[in-house]
Amino acid sequence: MGRNELVYETVASVNRSDFQTLARSRLQDAAILMRADRFDGAYYLYGLAIECALKACICRKVSRYDFPDRDLTAKSHQHGLLKLVEAADLGAALDRAARTDAQFAANWLIVRDWSIESRYSAAEQSKAEALQEAIIDRRNGVMRWIREHW
């Protein structure tokens, strides 16, 4: 099945590898939209890439044959990036990274403002470009940091 053929009936059927693939795919889709000056869609998909990447981090915590924890399940089935960081138990690591790397901290502040509700609003070019850079910055980017934990 190709990456564009991934169809899921529920999030419950998606595993860590699927979320990693979806995160990469959303990054690629967002980059295409940026080049086409479709900043609203790019902004939305860049944020969605972070959501998928954080959900891959959550999947890493779950043992294959363990009965799912109800609280973790509830925290995982939502879109708030800060809540997903918490569900992935990455809060302390995020705080440490932000304290030791000022550019990463600045990038995180940009990324954490993304909301699933952005799908209903317009994003200016500058806002989409700022989110893009905060995520893909090779040295201090949020996606680079998440990949260390997924």
Percent of the chain with pLDDT over 90: 73
- pLDDT of 5 over the 50 cut: no
Q: Global pTM?
A: 0.84
- CATH-assigned architecture of domain 13-147: Up-down Bundle (1.20)
- pLDDT of 8 over the 50 cut: no
- pLDDT of 7 over the 60 cut: no
- pLDDT of 13 over the 90 cut: no
What is the greatest pairwise CA distance in the chain?
Answer: 46
Selected residue with higher pLDDT from 70 and 21: 21
